[in-house]
């Protein structure tokens, strides 16, 4: 995979995690550190999402490369982003999950990021997010009909997170330091004063995989129509 080649998006509903894990042998694929991380999670939902995300990453990476599921080991970048260890083929991936849904994006030789959240940000969260947007984004949000603001806030936030994850910084960088705009042709573009040429460098997809969720994918040197989505269960049942 390289520029002009597909970006692969894999989606796993949380309600399907138990069956998915059983099919892959439960926790057998996890490292000792990952098993310890699973035990540290408090609450059944948190443990289910943690396990599902670790298994989904291996499944998606193996589907894209043909490497056996049990051969994947991971390292972490300076800001904690996981990367395949000793990946000679240059494969990259990113994970996100929220209540009800787990997502994994895979590319080769290109940075990528994914973030998933609720379709409409709750009122309190929408106000909190607005304070962390850029000036033009806040103006756009304030100019939107009140009933549509939670959905716009949710979309802007997953775009912010996906981009920061693709950059590898996560929220160590302020989300108000750059802004998203829609070009006249409908394309979503980032205006980033710290990244010359980012408008041409990045492609963004916004996906509504079901009635409860919105997600964004940021792909370095992406192209329109190259996102390949695989649903591992019927997402129409997640409402």
Residues forming beta bridges with residue 190, ordered by sequence position: 180
- Contact yes or no for 142/133 (Cβ under 8 A): no
Which residue reads 């160590």 in tokens?
172
Per-residue pLDDT at 239:
37
Handedness of CA 181, 220, 82, 100 (dihedral sign): positive
- Contact yes or no for 220/163 (Cβ under 8 A): no
Per-residue pLDDT at 68:
94
Residues forming beta bridges with residue 116, ordered by sequence position: 215
Q: How far apart are CA 168 and CA 185, in angstroms?
A: 29
Which top CATH class is 7-231? Answer: alpha beta
Per-residue pLDDT at 128:
80
Structure tokens belonging to residue 175: 């989300």
Per-residue pLDDT at 238:
44
Q: What is the Cα gyration radius of the chain?
A: 18
Q: What is the mean pLDDT of each run of 10 residues along the chain (239 residues)?
A: 80 96 94 95 96 97 94 86 81 96 95 95 77 87 90 93 93 88 91 78 95 96 92 65
Per-residue pLDDT at 234:
63
């Amino acid at each position: 995979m390289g520029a002009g080649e597909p970006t692969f998006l894999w989606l796993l509903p949380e309600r399907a995690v138990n069956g998915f894990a059983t099919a892959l042998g439960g926790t057998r694929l996890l490292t000792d550190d990952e098993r310890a991380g699973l035990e540290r999670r408090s609450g059944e939902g948190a443990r289910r999402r943690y396990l599902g995300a670790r298994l989904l990453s291996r499944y998606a990476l193996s589907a894209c490369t043909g490497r056996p599921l049990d051969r994947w080991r991971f390292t972490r970048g300076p800001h904690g982003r996981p990367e395949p260890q000793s990946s000679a083929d240059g494969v990259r991936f990113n994970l996100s999950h929220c209540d009800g849904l787990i997502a994994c994006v895979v590319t080769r030789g290109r940075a990528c990021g994914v973030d998933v959240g609720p379709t409409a940000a709750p009122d309190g969260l929408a106000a909190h997010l607005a304070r962390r947007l850029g000036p033009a984004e806040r103006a756009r949000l304030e100019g939107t009909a009140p009933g549509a603001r939670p959905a716009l806030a949710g979309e802007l936030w997953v775009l912010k997170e996906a981009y920061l994850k693709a950059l590898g910084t996560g929220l160590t960088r302020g989300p108000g330091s750059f802004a998203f705009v829609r070009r006249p042709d409908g394309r979503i573009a980032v205006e980033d004063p710290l990244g010359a040429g980012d408008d041409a460098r990045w492609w963004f997809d916004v996906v509504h995989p079901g009635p409860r969720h919105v997600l964004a994918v940021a792909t370095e040197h992406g192209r329109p129509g190259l996102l390949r989505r695989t649903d591992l269960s019927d997402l129409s049942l997640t409402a």
